[in-house]
Amino acid sequence: MIKAVVIAGGSGTRLWPLSRAAHPKQFLALHGEDTMLQATFKRLDGLDLQSSVTICNEEHRFFVAEQLRQIDRLGSIILEPVGRNTAPAIALAALSSTEGEDPLLLVLAADHVIQDEVAFTKAVMSAIPLAEAGKLVTFGIVAHEPNTGYGYIKKGESKDPGFVVDAFVEKPSVEVAKEYLESGNYFWNSGMFLFKASRYLEELKKHRPDIYEACQLSMEGTSKDNVFLRVNELAFDLCPSDSIDYAVMEKTDDAVVVPMDAGWSDIGSWSSLWDISEKDANGNATYGDVMLYEAHNSYIRTDEKLVAAIGVDDLVIVSTKDVLIVAHKDNVQDVKVVAQQLKAESRPEWEHHREVYRPWGKYDLIDSGERYQAKRITVKPGAKLSVQMHHHRAEHWVVVSGKAKVTNGGKTFILSENESTYIPIGAIHSLENPGKTLLELIEVQSGGYLGEDDIVRFEDNYGRAGVPSR
């Protein structure tokens, strides 16, 4: 009886500008047509799962729900009010799973790539007897190169089909990584685990009773909202932050590592994404509208505009609607430094794309200037924006396609293609798509202040009371 626990937190700043705080890499299609979250769930199809739980931040809940609904894998979703690393997150999943049963928890990150799903399934299946016997299994990736970007696990005596964990080792230097590879005694640390829910809680209580107790208190004040499970925010806020490796796996006497050779990558940088991408004869991996001449061993990706690269080697070039980044592959780890600087300067590019997703659809900020901005708004069938008003801006809506049900002041009416309405400052208004196709409209805002926090929300279908966004 296996229950999948998928951890979908994290910001993925090393893959900026594609991955951003409000739309991190696990919700992007970086390798294949599915998002990384969707691919994580699809690779579980070879296993006999009892159920699944996804753990994510409160602000990402609609990404998780919508993406899992699209592939018919929607299970329960535990919402963390604040990030507290993997040890508390897994504890919440374990505590929610032990009422009358004690499943094996298969703990996975939502932002890993597994290219050989058959080998993945085989490794997990082989580890089940060890987990059922009370061992805490981690999966060690068979190393094929002296990679300095991963932590390592040193194997001890044999424990068929794996080994007793001798030690967890931090990311090594190149020279040390070469020694590890030549010895054959080390695996890459994958961050994937299999163990009984009760065994994890026993070991956590033994080695980090402060985390265990805080998580217990957090689960005592839960509230259920459809598929979302909200924990007690005050209790969880007081929980110490720690990883499962430091809190449990490095301290327990029952840690076992099972080898896995399945084309694994944690996509920790643009160069690692180049490593696993399909390449042309010159070693270039390209996505989108790209033209090359005398270019070699580069990763080039564009969302929209044409990118032409001439006479370049070993570069990463990523173009989004609002950002262009050019970096040498040897320096891609420093991308996070730029993202951190943007955050320190309160620039929006660190957090949001120009195209912003909401539970009702999305909007694209297509132009802006002093006292005005224009957005392309897309509303999903049956979805409705909150009933709201603004103190500082007026809005003009023009329907491009579909039908809009509009409340403007005291009137409610239908707008069709090429029809419009003007919403003055202070008018209570809402927008709904009553049709079965997407509603698209252009919104022109004008006024002295156009920030997303200029909103008073009266009603909302998505439980976002007090949140300064549509």
201 in any annotated domain: yes
Query: Could you give the CA distance from residue 287 to residue 385 in angstroms, rounded to a whole number?
Result: 33
pLDDT at 381 over 70: yes
Q: Are residues 85 and 217 in the same domain?
A: yes
362 in any annotated domain: yes
339 in any annotated domain: no
Q: What pLDDT score does 462 carry?
A: 82
Q: Are residues 164 and 302 in the same domain?
A: no
Per-residue pLDDT tens over the stretch 97-155: 877 789 999 999 999 999 999 999 999 999 999 999 999 999 999 999 999 989 999 99
To the question of pTM greater than 0.95 for the whole model, the response is no
pLDDT band at 80 (very low <50, low <70, confident <90, very high): very high
Share of the chain above pLDDT 70, in %: 99
Share of the chain above pLDDT 90, in %: 91
Q: Are residues 360 and 322 in the same domain?
A: no
Q: Are residues 287 and 377 in the same domain?
A: no
Q: What pLDDT score does 11 carry?
A: 79
pLDDT at 410 over 80: yes
Say which residues have a Cβ less than 8 Å from residue 301's Cβ, sequence separation at least 6.
18, 286, 287, 288, 290, 317, 318, 319
Element housing 196 (H / E): strand 186-196
pLDDT (mean) for 217-235: 92
SS (H, E, C) 71-115: CCCCCEEEEECCCCCHHHHHHHHHHCCCCCCCCEEEEEECCCEEC
Q: Please identify which residue in the block is written with the tokens 């040390």.
A: 176
pLDDT (mean) for 367-388: 96
Q: Are residues 239 and 126 in the same domain?
A: yes
Q: What pLDDT score does 466 carry?
A: 52
Per-residue pLDDT tens over the stretch 243-267: 999 999 999 999 999 999 999 999 9
Q: Are residues 258 and 288 in the same domain?
A: no
Residue finishing a domain among 205, 234, 265:
265
Q: Are residues 249 and 295 in the same domain?
A: no
Q: Are residues 365 and 230 in the same domain?
A: no
273 in any annotated domain: no
Q: What is the DSSP letter of 263?
A: -
Q: CA dist 304 to 28, 289, 293, Å?
A: 16, 7, 20
343 in any annotated domain: no
SS (H, E, C) 358-378: ECCEEEEEEEEECCEEEEEEE
149 in any annotated domain: yes
201-215 per-residue burial string, b: 16 or more CB within 10 A, e: under 16 = bbbbeebbeebbebb
pLDDT (mean) for 85-108: 93
pLDDT at 453 over 90: no
Q: What pLDDT score does 1 carry?
A: 86
pLDDT band at 12 (very low <50, low <70, confident <90, very high): confident
Per-residue pLDDT tens over the stretch 183-221: 999 999 999 999 999 999 999 999 999 999 999 999 998
411: helix, strand or coil? strand
Q: What pLDDT score does 389 carry?
A: 95
Per-residue pLDDT tens over the stretch 336-351: 999 999 999 999 999 9
Q: Are residues 210 and 288 in the same domain?
A: no
Identify the residue with better confidence: 167 or 470: 167
CATH of the domain at 151: 3.90.550.10
Which of 157, 159, 114 minimizes the C-alpha distance to 136?
159
Yes or no: say if 353 and 20 are a contact pair by the CB < 8 Å rule. yes
pLDDT at 467 over 70: no
419 in any annotated domain: yes
Give the dihedral of Cα atoms 327, 328, 331, 336; nearest 10 deg: 20
Residue finishing a domain among 232, 265, 298:
265
Q: Are residues 150 and 189 in the same domain?
A: yes
pLDDT (mean) for 415-436: 97
Per-residue pLDDT tens over the stretch 311-365: 999 999 999 999 999 999 999 999 999 999 999 999 999 999 999 999 999 999 9
pLDDT (mean) for 441-453: 94
Residue finishing a domain among 265, 290, 322:
265
Can you read off the two tokens belonging to residue 298? 């580069």
Q: What pLDDT score does 463 carry?
A: 72
Say which residues have a Cβ less than 8 Å from residue 343's Cβ, sequence separation at least 6.
21, 350, 351
Q: Are residues 61 and 176 in the same domain?
A: yes
Q: What pLDDT score does 465 carry?
A: 56
- The residue range of the domain holding 294 is 280-334
Count of domains observed in the chain:
3
Q: Are residues 72 and 172 in the same domain?
A: yes
Q: What pLDDT score does 83 carry?
A: 93
Can you read off the two tokens belonging to residue 394? 């007026």
CATH of the domain at 400: 2.60.120.10
470 in any annotated domain: no
